[in-house]
Chain A
Amino acid sequence: MMNWEIRVLMTVLFVVLAPFLGGLLDGIDRVITARMQGRKGPGILQPFYDLFKLMNKQLLAVNRIQILMLLSYLVFVILTGMLFFGGFDLLLCFFSLSTAAMFVILASTSTHSPYNSIGSERELMQMMAYEPAVLLTAVGFYLSTGTFKVYEIFNTSVPAIVKAPGFFIGFIFILTIKFRKSPFDISTSHHAHQEIVKGVTTEMAGLDYAMYNLAEWYENIFLYGVVGLFFACSNPWSMLWAFIAIVCVAFLMTLIDNVSARVRWELMLKLTWAITLLSAGVNLLILEFVR
């Protein structure tokens, strides 16, 4: 049964809470990173200080179109999350996310800066690398639960992970690209990392960059939501499993970020497609034969 009240409540909660959760996760990530490197590091609230600082800086915009594109990115990412937490079609969420990603590229190319051009090219490579895995994730949910609707996936008796572990591995693998973590942070990166200066975010100053960061936090929460969805089912205890899975994945991302060096895009493409084909593809074949 669809529960309209809960779905509306989840959507509102997402819009209101996701920036705080996303910022907090970012802060925890920075603290853990610092500890792994034997440093004290900044406080957990540091990403929020950064955001408010950026909002208070002068907006040195290169052109007017960039800020419009970034606003569209933010709006589409929020829309993606609303569709997801509102329990709508998973495919719709993923297409909306791809549209949002396109706006980053448009914002970046509109500046005509050489650093941005390289960044946008690489961002396109990244999209090429992760899109198959993202689409297969939706397929995996369909094959294991018989539906694309998020609220129906929630109401199944067996969580999707039981039948679709391969799709889960494929999705986790591309998360490093989506979160812009090493070894796949080739179009732009976080913390003090630099790659051809800052890739797609090079020409974003002040409010522009603040909006970009905010959108990224929304996006991260949505992606963690998908991770949780693999474990969610009608049993209330599955929520605990979903939560544990999200915490583990978040830690894994920080760990991978700290133990790996950036790779070239060719290797990224080969690795992601190989993992996607091997884990998700084999899982797909098994599901096709078994049923």
Chain B
Amino acid sequence: MKNIHKSPWLLHYDGSSCNGCDIEVLACTTPVYDIERFGIVNTGNPMHADIFLITGGINSQNEEVVKQIYSQMPDPKVVIAVGTCACTGGIFKECYNIKGGVDTTIPVDIYVPGCAARPESIIDGVVKGIALFQKKHEDMKKVGKVSNTMN
């Protein structure tokens, strides 16, 4: 079976957001938007996750946490920054403790702008992320990097 894009499991992490974007992300899982129809499971475990969805920017405290979660996710993985804060730092950009967007710490694949990002655009970003997830998997297959690394 080549297609793994039908089962993207999602991990939601709240950086230093104002909670506006988080509420919109959670709205996606409600019956109105129901992202589970794409096979998405909102998991809390990085070891099970395929898509890392972050809201809010990076501050000096959560920088290590984000790195840690990212390193615990098995390949292939996709990172989605949701909301202006996660993309660039947003209205908190000038704060003394804010480093900026998520891409200051880990590589981001998809940017979803908006303050707050609307559920429709979040789903749009996630669907793009799913396509990228499949592509990364195929690239990995080509390079033969699916080898089971132990560490």
Contact = CB atoms under 8 A, between A and B. Distances in A.
B150 A59 contact: yes
B148 A202 contact: no
Interface in B64-116: 72, 74-76
Contacts of A192: 29, 36, 41-43
B4 interface: yes
A202 B11 CA distance: 14
Interface string B34-64: 1011110111110110100000000000000
Contact of B1 (A37, A52, A59, A194): A52
Main DSSP-derived SS at the A contact region:
loop
B39 A205 contact: no
Contacts of A209: 47-48
A42 B74 contact: no
Interface residues of B, number: 32
With a 10 A CB-CB cut-off, give which of A50, A58, A202 has the most chain B CB atoms. A58
Given A49-B6, A204-B47, A58 B149 contact: yes
Given A53-B6, A60-B74, A206-B74, A40 B37 contact: yes
A58 B1 CA distance: 16
A203 interface: yes
B73 to A, nearest CB: 8
Interface residues of A, number: 34
Contacts of A41: 34, 36-37
Given A53-B7, A64-B150, A192-B41, A58 B75 contact: yes
Contacts of A43: 39
Interface in A77-129: none
B31 A56 contact: no
B146 interface: yes
**Which of B38, B50, B74, B149 has the most chain A CB within a 10 Å cutoff?**
B74
Nearest to B30: A39
Interface of A: 34, 37-43, 46, 49-50, 52-54, 56-61, 64, 191-192, 194, 197-198, 201-207, 209
Smallest CB-CB A-B distances: 4 pairs: A59-B148, A53-B7, A58-B74, A49-B6
